[in-house]
Structure 1
Amino acid sequence: WRAVAAQLGPAAVTYLPHGLPLADWPPRTALPTQPLIVAVGRLVPKKGFDLLLAALARTAAPPPLVIAGEGPERAALTAQAQQLGVDLQLPGHVAPAAVRDLLHRASLLVLPSRRTPQGDRDGLANVILEAMAVGVPVLTTTAGAATDGLDHGRTGWLVAPEDVPALAAAMDRLLSDPPLTAALGARARARVEHRFNLEVNSTMLARWLRAHHAR
Structure 2
Amino acid sequence: MRKKILVVLKGYPRLSETFIAQELLGLERAGFDLTLISMRKPTDKKRHPIHDEIRARVVYLPEYLHNEPLRVLRAFLAGIKKPGFKPLLRQFWADLKRDITPNRVRRFGQALVLVHEWPDNGEWLHAHFIHTPASVAAYASIMTGVPWTCSAHAKDIWTSPDWELSEKLERARWTVTCTRTGFEHMRDLTPTPESVHLSYHGLDLARFDAFAGQHSDRDGSEVSEPAFLLSVGRAVEKKGYDVLLRALALLPTDLHWRFTHIGGGDGLTKLKALAETLGISNRITWKGAMAQEDVLAHYRQADLFALACRVAADGDRDGLPNVLVEASSQRLACLSTNISGVPELLTDGENGFVVPPEDPKALAAAMERAIRDPTLRHRLGDAAEKRVREHFDHHSSIRQLTRLFEEQWQKEEQWRKSA
TM-score by length of 1: 0.89
Q: Which residue of structure 1 aligns with residue 214 of structure 2? A: 30
Is 2:279 the partner of 1:85? Answer: yes
Q: Deviations over 1:88-145 (max 9, x none)?
A: 1111111101110111111111000111111111111111110111111111112332
Compared CA separation, residues 137 and 7, structure 1 to 2 (3 A)? same
Deviation at 1:184, TM superposition (A): 1.1
Say which structure, 1 or 2, has more relative contact order (CA 8 Å, 6+ apart). Answer: 1
Deviation at 1:180, TM superposition (A): 1.6
Q: How many angstroms apart in 2 are the aligned matches of 1:4 and 1:106?
A: 37
Aligned length: 214
Match of 2:378 among 147, 167, 182: 182
Q: How many angstroms apart in 2 are the aligned matches of 1:152 and 1:178?
A: 16
Q: Which moved more, 1:158-167 or 1:201-210?
A: 201-210
Deviation at 1:47, TM superposition (A): 1.1
Q: Deviations over 1:50-74 (max 9, x none)?
A: 1111101111215111111112222
Supply the AA of the counterpart residue of 1:19: G
Q: Which residue of structure 1 aligns with residue 110 of structure 2? A: none
Q: How many angstroms apart in 1 are the aligned matches of 2:315 and 2:407?
A: 36
Q: Is the 8 A contact 2:217 2:375 kept in 1?
A: no
CA RMSD in angstroms comes to 2.1
- What percentage of aligned pairs have identical amino acids? 33
Supply the AA of the counterpart residue of 2:361: P
Is 2:226 the partner of 1:68? Answer: no
Deviation at 1:2, TM superposition (A): 2.1
Q: How many angstroms apart in 2 are the aligned matches of 1:8 and 1:176?
A: 49
Q: Which runs of 5+ in 1 are unaligned?
A: none
User: After superposition, where does 1:144-183 map in structure 2 within 5 Å?
Assistant: 144-183=340-379
Deviation at 1:80, TM superposition (A): 1.9
Q: Which moved more, 1:59-68 or 1:143-152?
A: 143-152
Q: How many angstroms apart in 2 are the aligned matches of 1:109 and 1:187?
A: 15
Q: Which runs of 5+ in 2 are unaligned?
A: 1-182, 219-226, 412-419
Q: Which residue of structure 1 aligns with residue 245 of structure 2? A: 53
Question: Moved runs in structure 1, 4+ residues, more than 6 A?
Answer: none
Q: Which moved more, 1:20-29 or 1:162-171?
A: 20-29
Q: Which moved more, 1:150-159 or 1:94-103?
A: 150-159
Q: How many angstroms apart in 1 are the aligned matches of 2:386 and 2:407?
A: 29
Q: Is the 8 A contact 2:215 2:332 kept in 1?
A: no
User: After superposition, where does 1:4-19 map in structure 2 within 5 Å?
Assistant: 4-5=186-187, 12=194, 14-19=197-202
Deviation at 1:213, TM superposition (A): 5.5
Deviation at 1:207, TM superposition (A): 4.1
Q: Is the 8 A contact 1:38 1:109 kept in 2?
A: yes
